[in-house]
Chains A and B, each alone.
Chain A
Amino acid sequence: MSPDPTAPTSHAHSAPGVRVRGLTVVYKTPMGELPAVSNVDLTLAPGTITGVVGESGSGKSTLALCLLNAVQPPGRIAAGSVEIDGLGDVVELGGEELRRARGRHVGYVFQAAQNSLNPLKTIGKQLLDLGRSHGVADLRALVRDAKDLLARMGMDGARVLDSYQHELSGGMRQRVGIMLALVLNARVVVLDEPTTALDMITQATILRIVREVHDERGLTTLVITHDVGAVAEVADDLAVMYGGRVVEHGPVKEVLGDPRHPYTQGLIRAIPRLSGDIGEARALPGRPPTLGTLPAAGCVFRERCDRRMDVCDTVEPVALTRDGRTVACHAAAEDADRRLTAARRKEFA
């Protein structure tokens, strides 16, 4: 089931790329405006699924909302750009232009997808509202597509469209949320913890369907989750967030097989399924920072890091990309240098 990143799908050439550059998002708090996302660079290659993992509060949802320029007050995008092919810089969009981009170009599955439906209207009526909002001419075809998508996710499409939200379980609502994000054929799809209300097996099934639809339609997809194991199955790339930073980013197999950032290493050690042995699984010590406890200078992870050095207290590590892997860590940078020197020495020897 694991995707083969070297085999591009037939649509991959038409899938849009997404380039996040220097993105900073701040929330207004009693202590002033504090960054929930700091100077993030992240590229989603066209036609790939990128997983984003990180503990709760690491800024995943905030980052995802930026792809729609939808950070909610008291938050705002303070700096940076989000370039999406065919749309331009989303941060610069506003008004009707932005509204039309949402849903049509970028499909979004809300983190609380169980609560993403109007309680007073049937799912079918809300689907029609969606179609009308985006000038869909053939509403009948829209309904057909919706039923197909629902059927693929194991539901009786006609019945679901006739239902009100309160007649559906949490898991069913989440799948309806996914359907609504896919049904307009948006080329960029963002799923923020799309499967939290589902049991393990259903989760896997839904993610597999997301993968299928992604491949069929040639999408560029961002899947946010705090379940590293689940995303490992479907993603091509993996980005690891901590304290509002992307601390590591690269091909999913490489990141999980050979994690370079101490936080990624800790995350993986904490998951029995990935670390190999249940006895070996070790929870990451300490607690994740909140907006108020994030250090102003130095590395945000240093309080919990087992490789902390003096420089980590004063200088924030920059994200360095080497052989397709991006890591923001002083120790990892030293490791890379050492590898390079060793390789050179071997060459000379």
Chain B
Amino acid sequence: MTATLRVRARSKTSPTSSASPKAVVRRVAGHVARGLVMIWVVATISFVIIREIPGDPVRGQYESLIQKGMSPEQAERATAVLYGFLPTGSLWEQYLGYMNSLLHFDLGRSLSTPGVEVTTLIGSAARWTVLPVLAGTLLSFLLGVIMGVYAAIKRSGRLGDVLALSGSLLHGVPVYVIGLLLTAIFATLWPIMPSGGPVDVEHVPGLNPGYLGSLAHHAVLPVVTYTLASYGGWILAMKSNVVAVLGDDFILAAELRGLKRGIVFRYIARNAILPLFTILALSIGMLFGGSIFIEQIFNYPGLGLLLVGSISSRDYALMGGTFLVITIGIVVANIVADLLYTAIDPRVRSGGSA
């Protein structure tokens, strides 16, 4: 009897209960492959746009340079620098040239800011996007998760109602409404905050208190706007996760075993927060797109504004480069989210079906 039981026990347990690194590597490899394909597709699309747009900006540039008195060779080289591929030659040759310069991280030069490399523009814009949006994302996540737990635990009381209502309301309000409202209040009616821009010009950039203080001061409203805009989603998601976990049998079982409150609370929190981590990683990936509305309202020279500017000034190289960076951000975030999930959820780790 015991023997048969033991056989059963063995056969049901997977050979190693810890992570199977092979499976993880395989999944990440899959993600990387899919990500590369996605990046390639976006790059190809931006090539097609640049090349095939009505009026052919590449050809136009080349011809206008010749009209200005350049030799065809000079004009060809100047245009190639601008767009990353030769204006003449077959479509296929141009495409290969473009891809080749991409592989060397050469995204071409901007038209609207003549002579400046697209990578430089993107790099300086990214600073103004990544920090505020990252701060806003993390802040709203923290706030939403903590308040979500309270909203769930106190869900039959007034505090729970108020918290859930705050979540639903904020979740429903578009981000630009929040932004405009905040500027109206804190920059116009009661002007304690700067109305726009990333920093006051009178400060010398660098690690001096005046500059850093001004940076922080200018970041407050955009960060708060971003926080409020995404807080609603977090609190609602966390609340519903906690309520679901509270109803799970294993929480009651833990209480019936007399586990300490703190431990039971950790059981609840960890199980409820797990699905949110993936969303967090993904939204951090999205942040390279910036928030066009927030950057416009607060006149923040981030990636969102850069993208809008490149579109309105028909700066195709810049546009393609910005798209590409945004895509790469999303691809990387997907991989990070997957790794994160693998690290914190044992069910995923062992490829279990439970």
CB-CB under 8 A from A118, the residues of chain B are 250, 254, 267, 271
Shortest B219–chain A CB gap in Å is 36
Is the pair A120, B259 in contact by a Cβ cutoff of 8 Å? no
* Cβ-neighbour of B9 out of A134, A155, A162 (below 8 A): A155
Is the pair B354, A165 in contact by a Cβ cutoff of 8 Å? yes
Q: Is A100 an interface residue (CB 8 A)?
A: yes
Q: List 11 A-B contacts (CB under 8 A).
A: A99-B258, A102-B257, A103-B258, A115-B250, A134-B258, A154-B5, A155-B9, A162-B18, A166-B352, A167-B12, A172-B9
CB-CB under 8 A from B10, the residues of chain A are 156, 159
- Give Cα A167 to B17, complex, Å: 7
CB-CB under 8 A from B34, the residues of chain A are none
Instruction: List 17 extra interface pairs beyond A103-B258, A156-B9, CB under 8 A.
Output: A70-B256, A101-B258, A102-B256, A110-B253, A116-B253, A119-B346, A120-B346, A121-B267, A122-B17, A130-B258, A154-B6, A162-B17, A164-B17, A164-B347, A164-B350, A164-B352, A165-B354
Shortest A145–chain B CB gap in Å is 15
How many B residues face the partner with a CB closer than 8 A?
Answer: 38
- Give Cα A319 to B270, complex, Å: 49
Shortest B35–chain A CB gap in Å is 28
Is the pair A154, B248 in contact by a Cβ cutoff of 8 Å? no
**Residue of B whose beta carbon sits closest to that of A110:** B253
* Cβ-neighbour of B256 out of A110, A168, A169 (below 8 A): A110
- Give Cα A25 to B350, complex, Å: 44
CB-CB under 8 A from A166, the residues of chain B are 346-347, 350, 352-354
Q: Is B252 an interface residue (CB 8 A)?
A: yes
- Give Cα A70 to B326, complex, Å: 53
Is the pair A132, B6 in contact by a Cβ cutoff of 8 Å? no
Is the pair A119, B257 in contact by a Cβ cutoff of 8 Å? no
Q: Is A341 an interface residue (CB 8 A)?
A: no
Shortest A66–chain B CB gap in Å is 12
CB-CB under 8 A from A155, the residues of chain B are 5-6, 9
Q: Is B208 an interface residue (CB 8 A)?
A: no
CB-CB under 8 A from B253, the residues of chain A are 110, 113, 115-117, 177
Shortest A176–chain B CB gap in Å is 11
Q: Known: A133-B263, A156-B10. Contact between A68 and B256, CB under 8 A?
A: yes
Query: When each residue 71-95 of chain A gets 1 if its CB lies under 8 Å from chain B and 0 otherwise, what string results?
Result: 0100000000000000000000000
Shortest B127–chain A CB gap in Å is 37
Q: Is B90 an interface residue (CB 8 A)?
A: no
How many A residues face the partner with a CB closer than 8 A?
Answer: 48
Is the pair A120, B271 in contact by a Cβ cutoff of 8 Å? yes
Q: Is A112 an interface residue (CB 8 A)?
A: yes
- Give Cα A171 to B345, complex, Å: 23
Q: Is B161 an interface residue (CB 8 A)?
A: no
- Give Cα A201 to B4, complex, Å: 10
Is the pair A168, B13 in contact by a Cβ cutoff of 8 Å? yes
Interface residues of A in 162-211 (CB under 8 A from B): 162-169, 171-172, 177, 180-181, 201-202, 205
Is the pair A112, B249 in contact by a Cβ cutoff of 8 Å? yes
Is the pair B1, A201 in contact by a Cβ cutoff of 8 Å? yes
Is the pair B252, A110 in contact by a Cβ cutoff of 8 Å? yes
Shortest A212–chain B CB gap in Å is 13
Query: When each residue 185-198 of chain B gets 1 if its CB lies under 8 Å from chain A and 0 otherwise, what string results?
Result: 00000000000000
**Residue of B whose beta carbon sits closest to that of A114:** B249
**Residue of A whose beta carbon sits closest to that of B274:** A120
Main secondary structure of the interface of B (DSSP, over half): helix
**Residue of B whose beta carbon sits closest to that of A103:** B258
Shortest B184–chain A CB gap in Å is 45
CB-CB under 8 A from B354, the residues of chain A are 119, 165-166
- Give Cα A280 to B308, complex, Å: 85
**Residue of B whose beta carbon sits closest to that of A150:** B9
Is the pair B13, A130 in contact by a Cβ cutoff of 8 Å? no
CB-CB under 8 A from B259, the residues of chain A are 103, 129-130, 133
- Give Cα A205 to B9, complex, Å: 14
Shortest A133–chain B CB gap in Å is 4
CB-CB under 8 A from A180, the residues of chain B are 257
Q: Is A104 an interface residue (CB 8 A)?
A: yes
- Give Cα A160 to B261, complex, Å: 26
Is the pair B258, A168 in contact by a Cβ cutoff of 8 Å? no
- Give Cα A168 to B12, complex, Å: 6
CB-CB under 8 A from B352, the residues of chain A are 164, 166-167
Query: When each residue 40-58 of chain A gets 1 if its CB lies under 8 Å from chain B and 0 otherwise, what string results?
Result: 0000000000000000000
Q: Known: A115-B248, A167-B14. Contact between A132 and B271, CB under 8 A?
A: no
- Give Cα A241 to B312, complex, Å: 79
Is the pair B13, A167 in contact by a Cβ cutoff of 8 Å? yes
Shortest B167–chain A CB gap in Å is 24
Query: When each residue 286-308 of chain B gets 1 if its CB lies under 8 Å from chain A and 0 otherwise, what string results?
Result: 00000000000000000000000
Q: Is A27 an interface residue (CB 8 A)?
A: no
CB-CB under 8 A from A168, the residues of chain B are 12-13
Q: Is B52 an interface residue (CB 8 A)?
A: no
Is the pair A116, B267 in contact by a Cβ cutoff of 8 Å? no
**Residue of B whose beta carbon sits closest to that of A130:** B257
CB-CB under 8 A from B345, the residues of chain A are 120
CB-CB under 8 A from A160, the residues of chain B are 9, 13
Q: Is B56 an interface residue (CB 8 A)?
A: no
Name the residue in A72, A119, A172 with the highest tally of chain B Cβ atoms < 10 Å from its Cβ.
A119
* Cβ-neighbour of A169 out of B2, B12, B248, B347 (below 8 A): B12
Shortest B237–chain A CB gap in Å is 18
Q: Is B93 an interface residue (CB 8 A)?
A: no
**Residue of A whose beta carbon sits closest to that of B251:** A118
Interface residues of B in 183-238 (CB under 8 A from A): none
CB-CB under 8 A from B158, the residues of chain A are none
Interface residues of A in 197-238 (CB under 8 A from B): 201-202, 205
Shortest A187–chain B CB gap in Å is 14
**Residue of B whose beta carbon sits closest to that of A152:** B2
CB-CB under 8 A from A202, the residues of chain B are 5
